[in-house]
Amino acid sequence: MAGAYKWKRLSELNIYDSFFDSLKEDYPEFEEWYNKKANEGKQAFAYIDDYGIGAFVMLKKEECEEIPLDNQILPKCSRLKISTLKLSDRVEGNRLGEGAIGIALWNWLESDDEEIYVTVFDKHRKLIEMLQKFGFELAGYNSRNEGVYLRSKNAINFMTPYTSFPFINKETSAFAMLPIEAEWHDKIFPYSELKNTKQDTEEFAAANGMTKTYICFPVNTPCYSPGMPIMIYRKSSDEYNRGFKSVVTSYGTIVRSEPIKQNWSYLKSFEEYVKIVGNKSVFTHSEIKNFYEKMKNLYVLELVYNHAFGKGCNVNYNTLNDNGIWKNGHPYQAVYSMNDFKAILSLAKQDENKLIK
């Protein structure tokens, strides 16, 4: 069985699993606290595979109160706390941390909480580095000498697609559309629930993180550039109902757009190409090689997967076209405005005030 993140009641997980040993060492009261929360019916987001628990995320809505630190007192405001965040040593290389932090930030986006924070001991350097990558900043130390890492919706850092995740800058003027075949879409973006569509349930390593890689074959140079927000368009394979079943499901941000091959001319060696693709793609090595040898034009796109619209909220081609949003020509070259993006958000029943900062 391939691993997957699932919401689990604490009572369904084994507190005596060795996964929890380090938490018991860091927090002597952990077992008592855990059992209390289990009896209350609390849940956590856990990654489980054949080896057991690989990651564990628990969120808590905080009371509106001050947080005393060694260097300041954080004023009262509504906060979401990542009360527990733990990754197993054996899965650190699988980008499960990205998935864990991304899930927490998605919950924060959907909430009315102004801030999100987590407490971490300095010894957990890899976890701290990942938190900082996703925009968390050290506010100070609490009475346990844990670092308090915090993000605020009132001070989003748009320096990179990661520090701003999952939000879109209100100053953005150009958006794009990324068309992806249904088969690949459902493997790359397993959180994009589709109404009336049976998704492939096989979990790939690429589904564990917020960074995704896609290989495309544009006829002309695509319009994608680093930092550009994109709308992810799932192309249906149903030739009779394509207008209804081809839908915008989510949005992301381009991190890298790398030309590998143009008009049969190789711009990167096969080894360079494979290195660029890395382990963030759902394509097999054989498919990756086949693309390199047989496609006239070849680009590798790396993107951050910001957010999914959710089940029943996807916007199909017919709706886009009927509302004058769909651009003529190939989607790889079409540029959309902020007004276009807001119109799609409205059709997808999304609150633009939560997504755009």
User: What DSSP line would sit under 308-343, residue for residue?
Assistant: E--TT--EEHHHHHHTT-SPSS-TTT-EE-HHHHHH
The pLDDT value recorded for residue 119 is: 97
The pLDDT value recorded for residue 200 is: 34
- CATH number of domain containing 308: 2.30.130.30
Same domain? 256 vs 338:
yes
* CA distances for 102 relative to 58, 82, 341, angstroms: 13, 12, 22
Residue with the two structure tokens 């054989």: 286
Same domain? 231 vs 266:
yes
- CATH number of domain containing 31: 3.40.630.30
In eight-state DSSP terms, residue 17 is S
Q: What is the pTM of this model?
A: 0.90
For residue 340, give its domain range: 175-355
Q: What are phi and psi of 231, to 5 degrees?
A: -100, 130
Across all residues in the chain, what is the average pLDDT?
90
The pLDDT value recorded for residue 19 is: 93
Sign of the CA dihedral 312, 113, 146, 71?
positive
The pLDDT value recorded for residue 199 is: 36
The answer to whether position 159 is within a domain reads no
The pLDDT value recorded for residue 93 is: 52
Same domain? 47 vs 145:
yes
107/308 Cα distance (integer angstroms): 12
158/135 Cα distance (integer angstroms): 9
The pLDDT value recorded for residue 205 is: 36
* CA distances for 208 relative to 135, 164, 269, angstroms: 19, 19, 28
pLDDT tens-digit profile of 33-75?
Answer: 999 999 999 999 888 888 889 889 999 999 899 999 999 999 9
The answer to whether position 308 is within a domain reads yes
* CA distances for 157 relative to 151, 166, 174, 323, angstroms: 9, 11, 19, 33
Cβ count near 126 (within 10 Å): 11
CA 284 to chain centre: 22
Cross-strand bridge partners of residue 233: 179, 248
The pLDDT value recorded for residue 50 is: 85
The pLDDT value recorded for residue 34 is: 96
227/161 Cα distance (integer angstroms): 6
213/126 Cα distance (integer angstroms): 23
CA 319 to chain centre: 26
The pLDDT value recorded for residue 49 is: 83
Same domain? 88 vs 231:
no
The pLDDT value recorded for residue 94 is: 62
Give me the residues of the chain with pLDDT under 50, please: 1, 196-206
92/28 Cα distance (integer angstroms): 25
Same domain? 95 vs 240:
no
Structure tokens at 111: 């909430």
DSSP per residue, 227-275: T-EEEEEEE---TTSHHHH-EEEEEEEEEEEEEEEETTEESS-HHHHHH
DSSP per residue, 108-159: HHHS--SEEEEEE-TT-HHHHHHHHHTT-EEEEE-TT--EEEEEETTS--TT
The pLDDT value recorded for residue 100 is: 85
Cross-strand bridge partners of residue 214: 301
Same domain? 110 vs 214:
no
Same domain? 188 vs 224:
yes
Same domain? 101 vs 179:
no
Give how many domains the chain has, as a whole number: 2
Cross-strand bridge partners of residue 356: 168
